Amino acid sequence: RHYAQSIALEDEVLQADPQAYEADSIKGIAQAYRGNFTQAMATLDQALALEPDFAGARFNKALTYELFDYYDQAISWYTKALEVEKSCWSYYGIASIYGRRGDVANTVKYLKMAIAINSGTKGAAREEKDFNPVRTSPQFQALLK
């Protein structure tokens, strides 16, 4: 992956326009994927300080929490992202956390919402290792048919 290049590019954008909250959001998630939780959160908080209702930054903050195994905080931030934009990937993120926890009912509930927005998430769910703990449940299997 090209996370360092992405961060450098977003730094150029931010140098030209320090109010470019979208660039902060992209830079933050790139920092998270590079393994730097503290930097990522600071950058995402900067994006949200500039634009509190930017769904992309809320989603990226949720994803950062999820990447670092802070699952309750991740669910909270996916929910905050959904307050602004009903995205299939926010519902999917919540479903994947419940999947890891082996919570069939909540996995199916949130995955069903993701699929209702974008049926293509079924394909992703079929391959997603996060769903392994619930994969054999009849409810999960029925949802992916």
Give residue-wise pLDDT tens across range 101-115: 999 999 999 999 999
Question: How does pLDDT run across 23-42, given as a tens digit for each residue?
Answer: 999 999 999 999 999 999 99
Where are the alpha helices (H) located in the chain, listed in sequence order? 3-16, 21-33, 37-50, 55-67, 71-84, 88-100, 104-117, 121-127, 138-143
Predicted TM-score (pTM) of the model is 0.93
| 51-69 mean pLDDT | 97
What distances in angstroms separate CA 47 from CA 12, 71, 75, 87, one per listed residue?
15, 22, 19, 19
